[in-house]
Structure 1
Amino acid sequence: MRILFLDLDSTSPDHLGCYGYQRNTSPNIDRIAAEGVRFTNYYTSDAPCAPSRTALMSGKFGIRNGLVGHGGTAGDMKLEGPERELMGRLTRGGSLPSYLQLMAGLNTVLISPFAQRHSTFHFYAGFNEFYNTGKYGNESAEHVTPVALDWIERNGHKDDWFLYVNYWDPHTPYRAPMEYGNPFENEPLPEWLNEEVLERHKQRIGPHTVQDINIDYQEKTYNNKVAPNYPRYLGEIADMDDMKKMIDGYDCGIRYMDDHLGRLFASLEEQGVMDDLIIIISADHGENMGQLGIYGEHATADQGTCHLPMIIRWPGMKQGKVDEGLHYHLDLLPTIADMLGKPVMTDWDGISYGPVLKEGSDCGRDYLVVSQCAHVAQRSVRFRDWMYIRTYHDGYHLFDQEMLFNLSEDPKEQHNVAAENKALCMEAVYYLNQWHDEHMRRSGDDRDPLWTVIKEGGPFHAKGYLTGYIQRLEETGRGQHVEELKRRHPSELPQEADSAAVLAQKYLHAKMM
């Protein structure tokens, strides 16, 4: 048995040809999709990067494994505690690679810098070999492909391996080399991205809205600065020409990566193993390219960020099948166990969708709950045609606490219809509470890491940014939003320390006046 897992960072299904995109971004991915099963309602349980991959590898929701953010306490998994054995659960089959290693006897191989990028060294658990491509996730395909080709040429003909390859080209900043050109130079934008939409998006504020696409980690603010080394990635979308440059930059990243995937497939064909190779193509999260008015980021618990591509070509199983059931990415672990006829780990949160691959039968869930705690703090419910988003920290976007979108009519999440659909919102909150209660009961403690993030000062990519951003809003003629930001986030502004002595002094001063 041979398995190739392609983890394509920040790849949105909305921008792949096999998912209906008008541009030819993904011919090699599309070919594999035609030979296997394509899942249309597949979601990460926890976004963005580190929470998503931790949930995938551990088989547990972030509310249980503890890692939901990019810093602070919630930037690490929860400790196993007093019941931890000499070898922790991730070694004993509790992670995807260790399970394949122990239960299926596969040589497990990783080509990725991800663990070092986020100090998520649990990501290595269960890999026999790992190759750090060395640029902390800033590498382009030309840095990854030679490493993967070298391994394939040396080992591809052998039996019993699992090769996990991580590409980064669709991730910001869009880094396809300029000499690659622009295959989409003469192609129009998607129809929905028009001048009316842009003008409406100019009224929004927050990181990665059209006037503040850049996060300035040095100055602790959001602005429109441009990194000269990445000309495809803009700091601001001022007009439709900028809009086209932004979308083209992202699409070029996908197409450049897809070209390199073609090189891997060609090498596997030369090795004579392509016909019986299991190929899994997915991502850690998508990329908002206008959804919620956000561009070039994966910063929310919405359709744009949490909706994933998932393509599985499993020789001998269904071909050319499209599955519309609701599934989590962490459902992959019990699915593989099911396909291999092996036992499922009892503490995994996933449910097998093996029947889709074997028989083409529907086995989707009734609803999903997806979370984001690195840029905002949100939990959302995906059910029937709806995406309900509940915001606990808005990341300075001034989102409504409740948002509801009809994805069949409004797939780009432009019109919040929560106010006129209270019954649907109440239904979603019931699902959210049901999910929360179930997984808090299954947790080994009473800590919901979403609230840990909030109590430690907010999401990592918003923590400490409010003062600088208020100054930018005032300097750029958008000061009308400042009072509402202050009202929502009073504890995040510089405040005088009101000790008992200071309060007494203020009281006496007021009496004397």
Structure 2
Amino acid sequence: MGDSIISHVMLALLATTVMQQQTDNSATNQDEPNVVIIFTDDLGYGDLGCYGHPTIATPNLDQMAAQGMKFTDFYSACSVCTPSRAALMTGRLPIRNGMWGNRRVLFPNSPGGLQQSEVTIARALKQVGYETLCVGKWHLGHHPEYLPTSHGFDQYFGIPYSNDMEVEKRGDPPLPLMENETVLEAPVDQTTLTKRYTEKVVSYIKEKKDDSFFIYYAQTFPHVPLYASKDFKGKSRRGLYGDVVEEIDWSVGKILDTLRQEGLAEKTLVFFTSDNGPWLIKMLEGGSAGLLREGKGCTYEGGMRVPALAWWPGTVKAGSVNHELASTLDLLPTVAELTGAKLPQDRSYDGFSMVPMLEGTGPSKRDHMFFYRRNELYAVRLGDHKAHYITQGAYGKTARKLERHDPPQLYHLGHDPSEQHDISAKNPEILSRIDQLVKDHQASLDPPPSQLDRKAEKPKS
């Protein structure tokens, strides 16, 4: 009897403590910013009006750039879907978080996913009282233990992997639309996806306007197959691809308008970017990397340099153009600094906080970028220079034979963003500095097994 009474008292005290912690977290976050990350799929560096596209109309994104910051040298951490998403969520290169592999991405028959040991942006923000929502394409594992609701998100609405993964001869199921862990519709009507995603984000903002919230809106498009709603299909001068991008632009406009209408614009950081470069072998159904070389699937600039916009009225200077290095890897440490979230110190991170850049108080903390393909380091950027140790084209007929370079090819990206003129012979000292950077980086690696392959294997050293 006595033990039972003591147990009940202890449980009551524990419950009171948890409630107090939740109240304290809520109170401390009233002045912290909301965060909305909009992550498109296969959108190229040259696909927006504000990045120079002549026939795709993107007035809302152009206005977002005019009211915020446009990045010219922003990189995804990988040139394909799954690893790039894992890097954004964890602030760690895929070679560190296990989302690398010979298969390159997860498929409907893949058994693996992002491991529970990884701390996502959502999980970090839950610790400081944020409400969290994931909308759209997840692609970090479709089994229950890997879904967004198992990685710090309170709610999930979207498709669990790429919209082309319904290949009958491979045994893929009909493409599912999910709410949390439940399939709502299969196959999903893809013509309605952008509008339904937008409605979910807009309603969530209105519902949570008095709370601190994080929204990760991972667009399904413009990944192929392309679908636009009847309001946008046939409207763009760029054809179906343009229709899809212009509907994404409309979606972003609705979200920004909602933040303004709810009085949340000055309390919310909105960051827009892409998971990798354009899928060039899809021809007119693929996008444009502008003057950058190649596209999705390779480590040339067109595969990993992507459009990026930051919008936060009153904090991010309107009309600013940032030419410094930054990456999706930097979003986790940036959000952690802005919100006071504490990250575990038992692991290595590859991101740097962008807060000084966003607030205009200092330069980028990043001076280098590592470019991986599967588990091998292909290239390194240091300042304006980029060294290619291994080169290979992206897909199909453009996928030239893999070539290893000793000495590495070297390009000055300020002078030669299209990577056409190798200057390695005249710059041995720059290659020496990059080589030392590589040695230091590789010494910090202890790669886990691949989560993308059917059979885990140890990465090459």
User: When the two structures are superposed, what TM-score results if normalisation uses the length of structure 2?
Assistant: 0.69
Provide the residue aligned with 1:311 in structure 2: 309
Are residues 1:146 and 2:145 paired? no
Are residues 1:126 and 2:152 paired? yes
Are residues 1:431 and 2:437 paired? yes
- The one-letter code sitting in structure 2 at the alignment partner of 1:115 is H
- The one-letter code sitting in structure 2 at the alignment partner of 1:326 is L
**CA 1:72/1:334 → structure 2, altered by over 3 Å: closer, same or farther?**
closer
- The one-letter code sitting in structure 2 at the alignment partner of 1:307 is R
- The one-letter code sitting in structure 1 at the alignment partner of 2:335 is I
| Structure 1 CA distance for aligned equivalents of residues 144 and 300 of structure 2 | 24
Greater alpha carbon shift after TM alignment, 37-46 vs 400-409:
400-409
Post-superposition Cα deviations, 1:360-405, rounded to whole Å, max 9, x if no partner, equal 421232211121229xx55211123222222287775125323433
Count of aligned pairs between the two proteins: 377
**CA 1:57/1:259 → structure 2, altered by over 3 Å: closer, same or farther?**
same
**Contact 1:50/1:120 (<8 A) preserved:** no
- CA shift for structure 1 position 123: 5.5
Provide the residue aligned with 1:108 in structure 2: 132
Match runs of 1:148-297 below 5 Å: 148-153=198-203, 155-158=205-208, 159-176=211-228, 180-181=233-234, 183-184=236-237, 250-274=241-265, 276-287=267-278, 289=288
| Structure 1 CA distance for aligned equivalents of residues 193 and 248 of structure 2 | 11
**CA 1:98/1:404 → structure 2, altered by over 3 Å: closer, same or farther?**
same
Match runs of 1:40-119 below 5 Å: 40-69=72-101, 71=103, 76=112, 88-90=116-118, 94-103=119-128, 105-115=129-139
**CA 1:153/1:354 → structure 2, altered by over 3 Å: closer, same or farther?**
same
- CA shift for structure 1 position 456: 9.3
SS of the equivalent of 1:146 reads helix
SS of the equivalent of 1:114 reads coil
Are residues 1:137 and 2:163 paired? yes
Provide the residue aligned with 1:471 in structure 2: none
- CA shift for structure 1 position 309: 2.4
**Contact 2:134/2:157 (<8 A) preserved:** yes
Residue among 401, 404, 414 paired with 2:404 = 401
**Contact 1:141/1:256 (<8 A) preserved:** no
- The one-letter code sitting in structure 2 at the alignment partner of 1:282 is T
SS of the equivalent of 2:334 reads helix
| Structure 1 CA distance for aligned equivalents of residues 439 and 274 of structure 2 | 28
- CA shift for structure 1 position 37: 2.5
- The one-letter code sitting in structure 2 at the alignment partner of 1:162 is F
| Structure 1 CA distance for aligned equivalents of residues 246 and 354 of structure 2 | 29
**Contact 1:282/1:308 (<8 A) preserved:** yes
**Contact 1:65/1:77 (<8 A) preserved:** no
| Structure 1 CA distance for aligned equivalents of residues 101 and 309 of structure 2 | 27
User: When the two structures are superposed, what TM-score results if normalisation uses the length of structure 1?
Assistant: 0.63
- CA shift for structure 1 position 60: 1.5
SS of the equivalent of 1:14 reads coil
| Structure 2 CA distance for aligned equivalents of residues 270 and 393 of structure 1 | 48
- CA shift for structure 1 position 420: 6.0
**CA 1:69/1:174 → structure 2, altered by over 3 Å: closer, same or farther?**
farther
- CA shift for structure 1 position 77: 6.2
Match runs of 1:465-484 below 5 Å: none
- CA shift for structure 1 position 115: 3.1
Match runs of 1:246-395 below 5 Å: 250-274=241-265, 276-287=267-278, 289=288, 298-320=296-318, 321-346=320-345, 347=347, 348-373=349-374, 378-391=377-390
**CA 1:254/1:78 → structure 2, altered by over 3 Å: closer, same or farther?**
closer
- CA shift for structure 1 position 161: 1.8
Provide the residue aligned with 2:5 in structure 1: none
Greater alpha carbon shift after TM alignment, 107-116 vs 47-56:
107-116
- The one-letter code sitting in structure 2 at the alignment partner of 1:302 is Y
**Contact 1:290/1:412 (<8 A) preserved:** no
Provide the residue aligned with 1:6 in structure 2: 38
**CA 1:285/1:453 → structure 2, altered by over 3 Å: closer, same or farther?**
farther
Q: Which has the larger radius of gyration?
A: 1
SS of the equivalent of 1:325 reads coil
**CA 1:184/1:116 → structure 2, altered by over 3 Å: closer, same or farther?**
same
- CA shift for structure 1 position 333: 1.1
RMSD: 3.9
Structure 1 gaps, min length 5: 80-87, 186-247, 459-513
| Structure 2 CA distance for aligned equivalents of residues 38 and 285 of structure 1 | 17
| Structure 2 CA distance for aligned equivalents of residues 286 and 12 of structure 1 | 5
**CA 1:363/1:269 → structure 2, altered by over 3 Å: closer, same or farther?**
closer
